[in-house]
A and B are shown apart, each in its own frame.
Chain A
């Protein structure tokens, strides 16, 4: 897999404030990489520096193997952006907005018509093509925002908190759409401070705080970095000591206790903890009533690494 984005030691200062502090990361072709961090952690600044919109103090940004600059028009033509704010014109209809922004990349009218139609269908705005943005709900506006960013079929797409203030149904639509884009071959950089989205969507996650990458890897890698374990609770009658000992012997099990017909197990990172425990209980012929598993979250990871909550809302 080739590197689509390579950022090395990026430093951006706003007077005394260091927005990006020697920030480095890479994004490989076909990946969805999440930049996760609280507001002000430097996610949008990173995107703006990569896009050559923001001046930065030092560092290097390469996109598609070439140095990114404001005049790198060949690189820009392969990039799409879905900004945090709904960035469309109130004077244009849905169709006109998508057509206008697509027109900045695709001059040919016939080709553009096809692309615009595809983008509108992709985000499910076919019934609203003649509507002005102010007539659309918040969720539909977000979809229009996405359509304007992807209509020209970019190979690299930046989604900067695309689900802020969106209802759950629209949020799911958006996330499904992003999955589809990746399936169609796009590489995606996704910023959010919603850990659930990042967990659901991203192949790799870079956790940011104060302009630095404090951890990066897959979601499981990140969860494996912390001590907090998975907590499993199983309601089951009359478990004997032999069975409890057998469970204790399983890999990545920290503690096992049995009280009031509830078996409590604390386990480290491991994908099959619940399955393994249930396997042992069923082998011994126990009938299980309820099974609960509490996984550590990225918020737990952030909390353990920084001492503060990820969500500041």
Chain B
């Protein structure tokens, strides 16, 4: 039976199309369309900056030294253009000779960008300024209180790389490469389309949906055994399809998948099970025959994927500002955030929170589906 359910899933052309072929085609399209655009717009070439000191405080004068030291580093992202005063700096900004300007005040640093600045330019300058302000505050606290433990914390943090991405919900807006969001969104779309296999499983078992299921229902094989066998077979196919899509993404389309294989595997395992269980919910609670239920499921997945930024990467950011609930309940956005944070964030706490959400929903869906699918008698056929 397991072998047959494997065959059945692999021969389901719609399933293979939506979960594998379509995502790969989209990724190819993205690669053709976006190739070079990001590099052109957001090259990691050195940013030309100037520093204007508007205070004689230690905070301001030390900042100038820090910038100079960053410039001296190998592969530095900053090249300092010396200016006499703010007026000259503004002129250079206007003419585009510098990309940005640090204005160091008594205890804060303002950033002024050229009119045609990119997100990445802005983010780098902000990261530098924030980093300095944070470290300065910690040193100041340590010196004033004489607490050596605080001082050692400062030393430790100095060894760390600068965070160039805001660690919380701003992932929708401030990505390192907004085009990568499309690839992850596409992979997530493929995973979500595994729900088709879940719908298919329901149609194989519910005698009130398909006549073949009626035949299965009157056989002496226990329903639970059929449910679990069918689920296991479809799960294996789903995992294989997802792994194929991720490998293609990494090796064909050169999209980074991060350096945390264990968490990535956990994500693939859980997200596929989630999609299957979601498909079971669609199959169980939608009305109509198998085709109608499948079409409704497809429509919902399409909407979910669209809202997660598959076509307009900034869309989740807009929702985050005006109606965060949409992001919180949209399965595609949840899965997207999960894998994106896994790949790009140092701090995985938000990744684990999203994973926990998915896990709870999966367990709930599977429990409901299993109870319903074990049903032996129907009120009508």
**Residues of A at under 8 Å CB distance from B?**
14, 44, 48, 51-55, 70-71, 73-74, 76-77, 79, 81, 83-89, 91-92, 96, 99-101, 103-105, 148-149
A71–B218 alpha-carbon span in the complex (Å): 10
**Cβ contact within 8 Å between A104 and B12:** no
A227–B22 Cα distance when bound, in Å, is 69
- CB pair A91–B7 under 8 Å, yes or no, is yes
Q: Is B210 an interface residue (CB 8 A)?
A: yes
A contact residues around B4 at 8 Å (CB): 92, 96, 99-100, 103
* Contact A76–B219 (Cβ < 8 Å): yes
Which residue of A is nearest B379, CB measured? Answer: A55
> CB-CB < 8 A to B379: which residues of A?
54-55
Instruction: Give the interface centre of A74, A103, A148, A149 by most chain B CB atoms within 10 Å.
Output: A103
Q: How far is the CB of B39 from chain A (nearest CB, A)?
A: 45
Contact with A along B172-213 (1 / 0, CB 8 A): 000000000000000000000000000000000001001110
Known: A104-B220, A104-B221. A148 touches B215 (CB 8 A): yes
User: Would you call A87 and B219 a contact (CB within 8 A)?
Assistant: no
Q: Which of B250-291 contact A (CB under 8 A)?
A: none
Q: Which of B8, B214, B217, B220 contacts A92, CB < 8 Å?
A: B8
Q: Nearest chain B CB to A46's CB is how many angstroms away?
A: 12
State whether the Cβ of B148 lies closer than 8 Å to any Cβ in chain A. no
Q: Which of A52, A76, A103 contacts B1 (CB 8 A)?
A: A103
Give chain A nearest CB distance to B13 CB in angstroms: 9
A residues in contact with B380, CB < 8 Å: 14, 54
Contact A105 B376 (CB under 8 A): no
A76 near B212 with CB under 8 A, answer: no
Identify A52's interface contact among B211, B216, B376, CB under 8 A.
B376
| Residues of chain A with a CB closer than 8 A to B7's CB | 91-92, 96
A83 to B215, CA, bound (A): 8
- Chain B residues positioned under 8 Å from A48 (CB to CB): 381
A-B contact pairs, 10 of them (CB 8 A): A79-B218, A85-B211, A86-B211, A87-B211, A91-B12, A92-B8, A92-B11, A103-B1, A104-B220, A149-B215
Q: Does B377 contact A (CB under 8 A)?
A: yes
Chain B contacts to A: CB under 8 angstroms: 1, 4, 7-8, 11-12, 207, 210-212, 214-222, 376-381
Contact B214 A87 (CB under 8 A): yes
- Known A-B contacts A55-B378, A103-B1; the reply to A74 vs B8 at CB < 8 A is no
A87's contact among B215, B221, B381, by CB below 8 Å, is which?
B215
**Cα–Cα, bound, A196→B133 (Å):** 95
Q: A76-B218, A92-B4 in contact; A53/B212 too (CB < 8 A)?
A: no
Please tell me if the beta carbons of B218 and A51 are within 8 angstroms of each other in the complex.
Answer: yes
Min CB distance B11 to A, Å, is 4
Given A54-B378, A81-B218, A105-B219, check contact A91 B11 (CB 8 Å).
yes
Chain A nearest Cβ from B128, distance in angstroms: 58
Please name all residues of chain B whose beta carbon is closer than 8 Å to the beta carbon of A53 when the two chains form the complex.
Answer: 207, 214, 217-218, 377-378, 381
Q: Please, which residues of chain A bring their CB within 8 A of the CB of B219?
A: 76, 101, 104-105
Give chain B's interface secondary structure class.
loop
CB distance from B94 to the nearest CB of A (A): 67
Q: Is the CB of B211 within 8 A of A54?
A: no
Q: Is the CB of B212 within 8 A of A52?
A: no
* A48 CB to nearest B CB, Å: 6
B222: chain A residues within 8 A (beta carbon): 73
Q: Which residues of A contact B377 (CB under 8 A)?
A: 52-55, 70
Interchain CA distance A100-B229 in the complex, whole Å: 13
Distance of A83 Cα from B381 Cα, bound (Å): 12
Are A77 and B215 closer than 8 Å at their CB atoms? no
Docked complex Cα distance between A53 and B210 (Å): 13
Instruction: Looking at the assembled complex, report how far the CB atom of A14 sits from the nearest CB atom of chain B, in whole angstroms.
Output: 6
**Chain B: minimal CB distance from A102 (Å):** 10
Asked whether A81 lies within 8 Å of B215 as measured between CB atoms, the reply is yes
Partner of B211 from A83, A103, A105 at Cβ < 8 Å: A83
Query: In the complex, which residue of chain A has the Cβ closest to the Cβ of B215?
Result: A87
Distance between Cα atoms of A42 and B171 in the complex (Å): 61
A201 CB, min distance to chain B CBs, angstroms = 23
Complex contacts, A88 vs chain B, CB 8 Å: 212
Complex Cα distance A149/B210, Å? 16
Q: Roughly how many angstroms separate A73 CA and B12 CA in the complex, as a whole number? A: 31
With both beta carbons as reference points, the residue of chain A lying nearest to B375 in the complex is identified as A70
**Known contacts A73-B220, A77-B220, A87-B211, A104 near B1 by CB under 8 Å:** yes
Q: How far is the CA of A83 from the CA of B4 in the complex (A)?
A: 21
**Nearest Cβ distance between residue A161 and chain B, in whole angstroms?**
12
The residues of A that contact B378 with a CB separation of less than 8 Å are: 53-55
Contacts known (A53-B218, A70-B376, A76-B220); A89 close to B212, Cβ less than 8 A? yes
Contacts of A71 in B (CB 8 A): 376
In the bound complex, residues from chain B placing their C-beta under 8 Å from that of A44 are 381
Neighbouring B residues of A99 by C-beta, 8 Å = 4
Asked if A89 contacts B221 (CB within 8 A), the reply is no
Q: Which residues of chain B come closer than 8 Å to A96, judged between CB atoms? A: 4, 7
Q: Please, which residues of chain A bring their CB within 8 A of the CB of B376?
A: 52, 70-71
Among A70, A79, A92, A148, residue most surrounded by chain B Cβ atoms (within 10 Å) = A70
Q: Which 10 A-B pairs have the closest CB atoms?
A: A70-B376, A104-B219, A87-B211, A85-B211, A91-B11, A73-B220, A77-B220, A76-B220, A87-B212, A104-B221
Give Cα distance in the complex from A79 to B215, angstroms: 11
Q: Which of B1, B4, B215, B378 has the most CB of A within 10 A?
A: B215
Q: How far is the CB of A71 from chain B (nearest CB, A)?
A: 7
Min CB gap B212→A, angstroms: 5
CA distance A293 to B270 in the complex (A): 74
Chain B, residue nearest A52 (CB): B377
The distance in angstroms between the C-alpha atoms of A77 and B222, with both chains bound, is 11
A87 to B211, CA, bound (A): 5
Q: Which residue of A lies closest to B204 (CB)?
A: A89
